[in-house]
Amino acid sequence: MSSQNYVKIFDTTLRDGEQSPGCSMNLAEKLRVAEQLEALGVDIIEAGFAIASEGDFEAVQAVARQAKRATVASLARAATGDIDRAWAALKDAKNPRIHTFIATSPLHMRVKLEMEPEAVLEKIRASVSHARNLCPDVEWSAEDATRSDPDFLCRAVETAIRAGATTINLPDTVGYATPETYGAMFRDVISRVSNADQAIFSTHCHNDLGLAVANTLAAVAGGARQVESTINGIGERAGNAALEEIAMALRVRHDVMPFDTGVETREITRASRLVSAVTGFQVQPNKAIVGANAFAHESGIHQDGMLKDASTYEIMTPESVGLSESSLVMGKHSGRHAFRQKLEELGYKLGDNEFQDAFKRFKDLADAKKHVYDEDIIALVDDETMRDNQAIQFKELEIYCGSHGPQRAILTLEVDGEEQTVTTRGNGPVDAVFKAMRKIVPHDDAQLTLYEVHAVTEGTDAQATVSVVLAEDGRTVRGTGAHVDTMVASAKAYANALNKLIVKRGRSELPAVARTGN
């Protein structure tokens, strides 16, 4: 493939994606996602914002040490302390990148930075030069580029490249652009900046108007050769450009967009499901590429066409994105060998102890369910592996409910290694369970703002996946749990949220500008 037509995939699920309200990942979860991103074939993994907290630093450092092929990046403001902290976290990476940014729009410079344009240019020169003295690969971003003065933006880009930036990112920070204006901005900057040939230009699009993917593709046509995106399009506000949509658009419409990526598209579904399991953000059924209905056909006309030739209504195959039809091949009589083979088919590589634990849970599930689908196994494994090393562990639950309340819950949790059991009554079984949670782990300031239940598969014996969102002092966290008993899934989800709340409480509070980034 021609290097001129190769588009690098920069994934920021672990950084910008994690800034979604209610989304937070612990270290083990971030490492699992990073491993899957490498399997997916992304070129750059933005592992976090090293100076944001000790937890963020440790996550960036751990991903940097784990990555075998991908470049690992950390975001940093245009400040010496940020850049030094980013480098300290990245220095063990095989391919490190410092990603520093500053705003360039008149509004942001005046209101947020309170700096004159010339001072901003000097800040760019100093910060990029300092980063380049530490790391050979430096990316610079012009925050709010799409609302910046074109002449000043060109001066800023030229300054950054002269100072040593090897990648220039022109983000649509607030989702303001249209495909025509965003593509034109890239063509304009690349043609006007004298040293533009010394850097790769990058996109970073937010989805406030639902145009993030369209804008990204327009920028690629305009000369960008790196795209920043997230799995399932998660991110602040309305989210980011969805990696899977960009990758498949470039693959399916290669006739009009002759660009290549390193994405192994058969890993897309696995990546999507993993991120959903980790974050608790369910993908809507009609989501492109990875939604439950993406390859479903109900209309009689469509079904007739599909039976004759699938290409009548499918422009890509389910197999091309790693989606296989669920098969009823596993049950209570299935042995260890068959279960291990099924796990490998689904993309799991478990150690001996993890496998034995998973097999026991599978047998328990098979006893409870008539049929075990692939989705059941995915939910079973993801749900349990997300809970390693958490301070609060679900142990046991009994529920007494019926038409005559109040309902009663007897809940046992393990908190810091010590089991505690309480009995509570509530207005319904869910209320009783959550009151028991509050009794064992007091958190009076945290409010339950969302409670959702989804069935993993069809049937009355389907596993339930439950999501809960807790809000406390401006922080929001989302917890998830899966089980054939909805109340058990609810308790596990709430415990998961409490563990994430503990993590967020430990994070240092940065100014809004720091948490925003691009």
Tell me how crowded residue 507 is: count the other CB atoms within 10 A of its CB.
Answer: 15
Poorest-pLDDT segment among 143-147, 352-356, 432-436, 465-469:
352-356
Q: How many CB atoms are closer than 10 A to CB 217?
A: 27
| Residues sharing a CB contact under 8 Å with residue 353, sequence separation 6 or more, in sequence order | none
Average the pLDDT over 281-292 and give the result. 86
Residue 305 reports pLDDT greater than 60: no
**DSSP one-letter string for 26-85:** -HHHHHHHHHHHHHHT-SEEEEE-TTS-HHHHHHHHHHHHH-SSSEEEEEEESSHHHHHH
Within 324-446, residue ranges assigned H as helices are 336-345, 352-368, 374-385, 429-440
Mean predicted confidence (pLDDT) in 5-23? 89
pLDDT at 155 over 90: yes
Residue whose C-alpha is closest to residue 135's, from 83, 69, 174, 195: 83
Q: What percent of the chain has pLDDT over 70?
A: 90
The 10s digit of each residue's pLDDT in 27-47 is 888 999 999 999 999 999 999
Beta strands 138-143 and 96-103 are parallel
- Eight-state DSSP code of residue 353: H
Which residue ranges make up the annotated binding site? 16, 204, 206, 240
pLDDT in tens, 395-424: 999 999 998 889 999 999 999 889 999 999
User: Between residues 165 and 499, which one has the greater pLDDT?
Assistant: 165
pLDDT at 460 over 80: no
Q: What are the tokens at 434?
A: 């959550």
In the predicted structure, residue 384 carries a pLDDT above the cut 80: no
pTM for the model = 0.81
Q: Measured between alpha carbons, how far is 501 from 330 in angstroms, rounded to an integer?
A: 36
pLDDT at 516 over 70: no
> Confidence class of residue 78 from pLDDT cuts 50, 70 and 90?
very high
322-358, pLDDT tens digit by residue? 876 544 457 777 888 888 888 887 777 788 888 888 8
- Residue list, annotated binding site for Mn(2+): 16, 204, 206, 240
**Calpha distance 426→101 (Å, rounded):** 50
Q: What is the DSSP letter of 283?
A: P
Q: What does the pLDDT read at residue 508?
A: 39
Name the DSSP class of 381: H
167 has pLDDT over 70: yes
